[in-house]
Every structure is written in structure tokens, then in C-alpha cells.
Amino acid sequence: MTGTLYGLGVGPGDPELLTLKAHRILTSAPVVAYPAPDHGASFARSIVAGFLSPRQEEIPIVVPMRVERFPAAEVYDRAAEAIAARLDEGRDVAVLCEGDPFFYGSFMYLFERLADRYPSEIVPGVASPMAAAARALTPLASRNDVLTVIPGPLDDEALAAKLTGAFVIMKLGRHFDRVRALIERLGLLDRAIYCERVTLGEERVLPLAEVSGVAPYFSMILGYRGDEPAIAGRYRQASARRSEPTDRKGPA
């Protein structure tokens, strides 16, 4: 019998935000695979480092985080075959993904290569917009609000067209300055909150108006464009109620 392929969402950073199911599968899987950028350590692995055992085989998947898909596609082909070899031996493989695996997660590219050949199970994780809203003490959507999730790499015209109602802008990194300037031009600075590395010790959550310069990839903007949201003044209130750094009790 072949092993099972698991896509494990490990949440936004705080190990306490791992689900019980992800913890159970993580600690019982004989093989654990995870994405890693081509410079630096794997964020997904760092979240669960305190739960891993030396008895588990680890497969790091070094994904070149580039706009062109070609190099990444070859990496996923090779990683899928390495994972398939373990599954053929009857060993389960847990693939880690920060946040949720089916929400801009690299796991999807392994899933599309393996799911028709092997039993698969996805364990959803706490996605970063949910964690950011929690840390910013700012409800994301209510009543008939439409919530739009927008990738920062979109050009200004495409971005501006999507900025309606409640919005989340992800993948900021080198696009941050341009995105912030656009939000300022549209007169939305006082309705926007900057959220960096939420739920981690080095978290920063503050009004976008107070942030300038560069932002890391693990950051996002929460905002609102339109008439007053159903929960009146929630972005302005949030700046007043700025939260303290999260109390982390997890092991990593």
C-alpha cells in the first residue's frame, strides 16, 4: 500500500496556531518536506522546529522565488519524484506550508503533480490575513462587505481597480513603496494598516501612514475603500488600540 500525501498548513508563525490535526500528523509522519527560499531558512520548518524529531526524514525543497515559473517548475518536478519514491515505499509524507496550503501555497504545485497517483489529505491552516486582522484588532469583513485579496506585484492600474470595499494586499516586499504611494494618492492612508511578520516575536502592526521605506516579503496591508464600513471607524480605532507583541508559549 502506498503512503498518504499530506499538505499541512502550519499557520502564520506562532507555533501555538498549529491545529491539533496538523500537530498529530506532523509528529507521526516518517517523512517531512518543506519549501525553502534559495537564500535563508525555511519559514514553514522554523514554525514547527520544536515538534520535529531526528527520526524523521526531512526533504527541503529549495524553490527559486522568481517571477518566471520555469526554474520553479523543474524544482517541483524533482521534489514530486523524491516524495513519490517515499510514498511508493508506503511511508506517509507531510508537506509543510506556512499559513494555509491552498492559499498561495507552494504545496499546490506538488499536489497537482501527485494527487492523482496517491491518497492525499489537506489540513487547513490559519491563513495570514486572518492572523493579521486578529493582531491588528480590526475585523476584516462584516454584513455585505466584499473582501478582496490582492497580490502586491500587480501593476498600479490593476491594483487600483481591485481596491474596493475591504481589502488585503499581500506579497509586498520590493513592491511596498509603490503600493504605499498608490494608497496615498487614492486618499486611503488613514484607512490602511501595515502588518509585518504577524504572530512572531518581531511582529510590527501600525498605521500605514507611519511606515515608509522597505518592507519584507512577509508583510501585508489591510484597508477599506468606500463609504464607512459597517463597523464604523474600525481602521482608525485599530491604530488607537495597537496590540502588544503576541504572547508566544509555543516551543520554537
Ligand X SMILES: C[C@@]1(CC(=O)O)C2=NC(=C\c3[nH]c(c(CCC(=O)O)c3CC(=O)O)Cc3[nH]c(c(CC(=O)O)c3CCC(=O)O)/C=C3\N/C(=C\2)[C@@H](CCC(=O)O)[C@]3(C)CC(=O)O)/[C@H]1CCC(=O)O
Ligand Y SMILES: C[S@@+](CC[C@H](N)C(=O)[O-])C[C@H]1O[C@@H](n2cnc3c(N)ncnc32)[C@H](O)[C@@H]1O
Give the one residue of 9, 25, 33, 43 binding ligand X; rule: CB under 6 A: 43
- Does 40 participate in binding ligand X (rule CB under 6 A)? yes
Shortest Å, Cβ 44 to ligand Y: 9
Site string for ligand Y, 151-180 (x = CB under 6 A): -------------------xx---------
Taking alpha carbons only, the member of 237, 234, 236, 230 closest to residue 145 is 230
Q: Give 139's contacts (C-beta < 8 A, 6+ positions apart).
A: 133, 231, 234
Is the CB of 92 or the CB of 196 nearer to ligand Y? 196
Rounded to a whole number of angstroms, the minimum distance from the CB of residue 1 to ligand X is: 28
100-119 residues near ligand X, rule: CB under 6 A: 104-107, 109
CA-to-CA distance for 118 and 82, rounded, in angstroms? 14
Edge-to-edge strand order for the sheet containing 5-9?
57-63, 31-37, 93-97, 5-9, 120-123
167 forms part of the interface with ligand X (CB under 6 A): no
Is 99 a residue that touches ligand Y (CB under 6 A)? yes
Q: Which of 105, 207, 223, 229 binds ligand Y (CB under 6 A)?
A: 105
DSSP 106: T
Separation between Cα atoms, residue 232 and residue 234, nearest integer Å: 5
Rounded to the nearest whole angstrom, what is the least distance from the CB of residue 76 to ligand X in the complex?
7
Q: Is 149 in the site for ligand X (CB under 6 A)?
A: no
Strands 147-151 and 120-123: unpaired
**Residue 198 interacting entry, from ligand X, ligand Y, none, C-beta within 5 to 8 Å by type:** ligand Y
> Using CB under 6 A, which of the segments 82-90, 154-162, 210-218, 221-229 binds ligand X?
210-218
Q: What radius of gyration, in Å, describes the C-alpha atoms of the chain?
A: 19
11 grid coordinates: 499557520
User: What residues have CB less than 8 Å from 127, skipping those under 6 apart?
Assistant: 9, 12, 99, 100, 103
Q: Which of 220, 223, 229, 238 binds ligand Y (CB under 6 A)?
A: 220
User: Which residues are at the interface with ligand Y (CB under 6 A)?
Assistant: 12-13, 97-100, 103-105, 127-128, 132, 170-171, 195-199, 217-220
